[in-house]
Amino acid sequence: MSTSTQPRIAIIGAGPGGLTCARILQRHGISATVYDRDASRSARDQGGTLDMHPGSGQKALREAGLLDEFTASARPEGQQMRLVGRDGRVLFDMAPPEADEIGGGADGEAGAAVGNPEIDRGRLRDLLLDSLHPGTVRWGRKLAHVEPLTVGVHRLHFADGATIDADLVIGADGAWSTVRRRLSDATPVYTGVTFVETGLDDADTRHAALAALTGDGTMMALDDNRGFIAQRNSHRHVRVYVGMRTGENWHRDAGLDLSDEVAVREALLKEFTGWSPDLLRFITDTDTGYTNRPLYALPVPHAWPHTPG
Ligand SMILES: Cc1cc2nc3c(=O)[nH]c(=O)nc-3n(C[C@H](O)[C@H](O)[C@H](O)COP(=O)(O)OP(=O)(O)OC[C@H]3O[C@@H](n4cnc5c(N)ncnc54)[C@H](O)[C@@H]3O)c2cc1C
């Protein structure tokens, strides 16, 4: 430990986990600094929509004093869930829960949201960032490795050569965490499933049929180790995942250049031969092009020994 009255707390990663941690510490009068490799808060697209459950995400936001702000930005209607057959017919349509079905907030507390409402990941991140003391997040700080010094103290080495010593290092740097390497040899492995992400802008006007098929929440059409998942985001955007159980290098094996939109579209249409033309339009009517997203997961169970600092 340092001789100053407060420990030097370094949180690696300005995602929902790291920012929530920093906010709760600050609410308790404990200072912490967050380091993120992104050049700024707007350096990249912040992805789709996350559902917040009463016992986890909403609980953390209550501890952070941000539940009201969350409720104001959340989309309870986003809990609608629709299952569609490969022929394009709606097989199951679950409406979002009403407040009086579960007695007000899902956990019965004032200010709680109903059920597991959705929020855009980017909006959630903004809400957390805006709640922190100015200067809490240091952007453009990519952690390269963590060096143990004396017991409990670690030196953080950043990619730009800078170093910082910390009494407590909190690894919130996501699935490919650099901090985790100090504790565990586990690495994420390919799940066998790849999503190709695409999207529809101004969907209700420009893609009315696809927007109607999606509904207000999530639509899934899954069959034969393939499927479409369409998710309503804010600002009339629909985010679409075209999923396949396939090899990690499916595109290379097929001799496909991922930047060649026409070739990717043709390859996806071939994968979904025999599916309803109504669903195939999720592939053809893209406004965003195609982003290949192979899915990885850490082994389960995953534990590590207690390590001071
Ligand atoms: C850009 C992005 C988009 C996503 N989109 C979706 C989505 O559409 N749907 C969905 O269900 N889930 C999505 N996820 C995943 C989901 O949001 C995660 O489950 C959730 O974000 C986990 O939160 P976290 O704070 O633990 O980690 P993350 O959100 O993964 O945040 C980790 C942070 O650590 C930073 N970081 C990583 N390595 C380093 C390093 N070496 N040095 C410094 N900083 C580092 C990253 O820049 C990132 O800001 C997305 C995640 C990210 C990062």
Using CA atoms, how far apart are residues 266 and 290, in angstroms rounded to an integer? 12
109: three-class secondary structure by DSSP: coil
Residue to probe by mutation, ligand 1, list 125, 141, 173, 177, most atoms within 8 Å of CB: 173
Centre of ligand 1 from the C-alpha of residue 275, in Å: 33
Residue to probe by mutation, ligand 1, list 19, 21, 24, 36, most atoms within 8 Å of CB: 36
Residue to probe by mutation, ligand 1, list 50, 196, 220, most atoms within 8 Å of CB: 50
Centre of ligand 1 from the C-alpha of residue 14, in Å: 8
- What pLDDT score was predicted for residue 308? 84
Taking CA atoms only, the protein residue closest to ligand 1 atom 11 is 50
Taking CA atoms only, the protein residue closest to ligand 1 atom 19 is 174
Taking CA atoms only, the protein residue closest to ligand 1 atom 8 is 48
Using CA atoms, how far apart are residues 138 and 116, in angstroms rounded to an integer? 32
- What pLDDT score was predicted for residue 6? 84
Using CA atoms, how far apart are residues 219 and 70, in angstroms rounded to an integer? 24
- Neighbouring CB atoms inside 10 A of 37's CB total 19
- Specify the CATH number for 1-75+117-182; select among 2.40.37.10, 3.40.50.720, 3.50.50.60, 2.20.25.570: 3.50.50.60
Centre of ligand 1 from the C-alpha of residue 113, in Å: 24
What CATH number should be reported for the domain whose range is 189-297? Answer: 3.30.9.30
CB 124 within 8 A of CB 15: no
Query: Ligand 1 in contact with 174 (CB < 6 A)?
Result: yes
* Sheet arrangement for strand 226-232: 90-94, 81-84, 218-223, 226-232, 238-245, 189-200, 291-297
* Domain definitions of the chain by residue range: 1-75+117-182, 189-297
- Give ipTM to 2 decimals: 0.93
The low-confidence residues of the chain, meaning pLDDT below 50, are 1-2, 100-108
pLDDT digits (tens, 9 = 90+) for 30-67: 999 999 999 999 999 888 999 999 999 999 999 999 99
Residue type for position 307: T
DSSP 232: E
DSSP 199: E
- What pLDDT score was predicted for residue 309? 82
Centre of ligand 1 from the C-alpha of residue 37, in Å: 11
Phi, psi of 140 (to 5 degrees): 70, 25
